[in-house]
Structure 1
Amino acid sequence: MSTRKHIPLSFVEAFDLPVTVDVPTAARALGICLTTAYRLARQDAFPCKVLRIGNRYRVPTIELMRAIGVDERAVYTLDHSS
C-alpha cells in the first residue's frame, strides 16, 4: 500500500500547464488514482484523448481541460500601472 497522499491539482496549477502533460499530472487534475489512470490509458478508456509516443503517454492539456469542464483557457492581464 502506498503512503503517498493524493494531492489534487490546484486551479492555478491547472491554468499553468504546458501544451501536453504526463499521465500523473492528468490523473491529479481528474482526481483519479495513478494506477487507474495508466490502466484507462492502456485500455483507450481515459476520460480524454491520450497520445502514445513510443512507450510514453501524453495528454493534450486542451483535452484535459475539457474533461474537467473548462472549455476555454482564462485570459487575463495584470494592471502594472497602479
Structure 2
Amino acid sequence: MSSHQPQTAETPPHGGNGAWTLERIRALGAVTDIATAGEIFGLSRSRAYELARAGTLPVPVIRVGSRYRVSVTAILTVVAATDPTGPPPAT
C-alpha cells in the first residue's frame, strides 16, 4: 500500500507536470510564502529568498515578523502580464 500526500494548491497533482496555472495560483488564497512564489516564477527556494532579501523579487514582499509573504494578487498580475496566452490587461 502506498502513502499519498493530500493534494493542495501548493503540491502538484500526481502524474501532472506541476505547472502553475492561474487557477492553481488563485487557489493559494490571499498570500503565499516565498518558496511557493519562487516556484511559480521558476526560481529555486534559495534564489527566491535571496531576491526577497535584496528586494528584487518580481513582486513586492510583505515581512511579517521573521516570515516573508507575497500577495497572490501581485503574482497573478505579473504572471498575466508576462503570459502571451493570458487575457489582455483591463483598460
When normalised by structure 1's length, the TM-score is 0.68
Kindly indicate whether structure 1 or structure 2 has the higher relative contact order, using CA contacts under 8 Å at least 6 residues apart. Answer: 1
Structure 1: which 5+ residue stretches go unaligned? 1-6, 71-82
- Give the aligned partner of residue 49 of structure 1: 60
CA separation in 2, counterparts of 1:41 and 1:48? 9
Secondary structure, in 3 states, of the residue corresponding to 1:68? helix
TM-score, normalised via structure 2 length? 0.62
Q: Give the aligned residue type for 1:41.
A: A
Matched pairs, number: 64
Task: Detail structure 1 runs of 4+ shifted over 2 Å in the superposition.
Answer: 7-12
Percent identity (aligned)? 28
Indicate yes or no: 2:41 matched with 1:30: yes
* CA RMSD in angstroms, aligned pairs only: 1.5
* Cα distance in structure 1, aligned partners of 2:19 and 2:46: 15
Which runs of 5 or more structure 2 residues have no equivalent in the other structure? 1-17, 82-91
- Are residues 1:12 and 2:23 paired? yes
